[in-house]
Amino acid sequence: MIKINDEEFRLWSALIYEYTGIVIRPEKAYLIENRLAEMTSEMGCPTFGELYQRIRYSADQAVKEKVINLMTTQETSFFRDPAVFKALESLLRNEVIPAMRKAGSNYPRLRVWSAACSHGQEPYTLAMILAEVVPDIDNWDLTIVATDIADNAFRKASLGRYTDMEVKRGLDQVRLKRYFVNNNGLWQICDRIRAMIYFQKVNLITDNLNSLGTFDLVFCRNVLIYFNQTTKQAVLEKISRALNREARLFVGSTESASQISPMFIPVHRYDVVYYTRSNGRPVPCSAGQTFGIAPLAFSGTRA
């Protein structure tokens, strides 16, 4: 395998940060070596320095996208961190749904954002929970927006097809039989659940998120850990603008939005910690609190 020298690492770590916001420290240089080795061979580059020059000054967007795909971590599973989803069920049953019904809307609106959806397990998990918890779901204006930076993850997520190994990670047999159909050895998510989700490619670092609208629930889990402090603060500022007044933000178990940004306060409830905006209150969101444009549907070949 080709080894990366110190100067090549400096160039590559800066480029990866520019593309993704991900910080790769010198002790993790092997990640670049392992993940980009295939590209050096494919492009006939004898060194990582030459590969850098080819990619840095290439007009081919597909080459840049391949770097993003290779360098982003796409570890995920259904019902990852089960306590979070148990808390979500309680939050919906005890607070969100009763508040919306009390508000008197005949067509309550609930918008959910899975901000780094990877291969789709998180948004499909959210859709399954909503299908089980929300009464008369057909009478709700309910949307899950799932976004990711990586093309390959995005396409797989939107297809909703999983191997035996993938569905065994987190899914019980009841939900597997209820929401999936085995098709030629792959498990296909059912149309009812798939239709609840709109997939869109989004770079949390560089993209303007205003077009997404605003949300009542946001899941941005196990993302901030890859960023430096400045990028974490910038991403949380963007997310704060995407939250309705009394929305909830869920981050990873090792992440703390309130320690990164004063815009968020922690709420300890249902055996987990989630966050609300510091100018809001940790109380149920109301039906009139959702604004923004209609959800964006994915068009074209999905990832």
CATH number of the domain within which 57 lies: 1.10.155.10
Give domain status of residue 58, yes or no: yes
* Predicted TM-score of the model (pTM): 0.86
Q: Which is more confidently placed, 100 or 167?
A: 167
Domain span at residue 50 reads: 6-71
Give domain status of residue 104, yes or no: yes
Region of residue 79 (phi > 0: left; psi between -120 and 50: alpha; otherwise: beta) = left
65 with 124, same domain? Answer: no
Distance CA 122, CA 147 (A): 11
Distance CA 44, CA 42 (A): 6
Give domain status of residue 297, yes or no: no
67 with 88, same domain? Answer: no
- Phi, psi of 172, deg, nearest 5: -85, 165
Domain count, the chain: 2
191 with 165, same domain? Answer: yes
**79-96 tens-digit pLDDT:** 999 999 999 999 999 999
187 with 93, same domain? Answer: yes
Which ranges of 21-140 would DSSP assign to H, the alpha helix? 29-42, 48-56, 61-71, 82-91, 97-102, 121-133
Distance CA 83, CA 231 (A): 28
pLDDT band of residue 135 (cuts 50, 70, 90) is confident
47 with 148, same domain? Answer: no
**225-243 tens-digit pLDDT:** 999 999 999 999 999 999 9
237 with 98, same domain? Answer: yes
Torsion of CA 7, 13, 19, 22, to 10 degrees: -170
pLDDT band of residue 285 (cuts 50, 70, 90) is very low
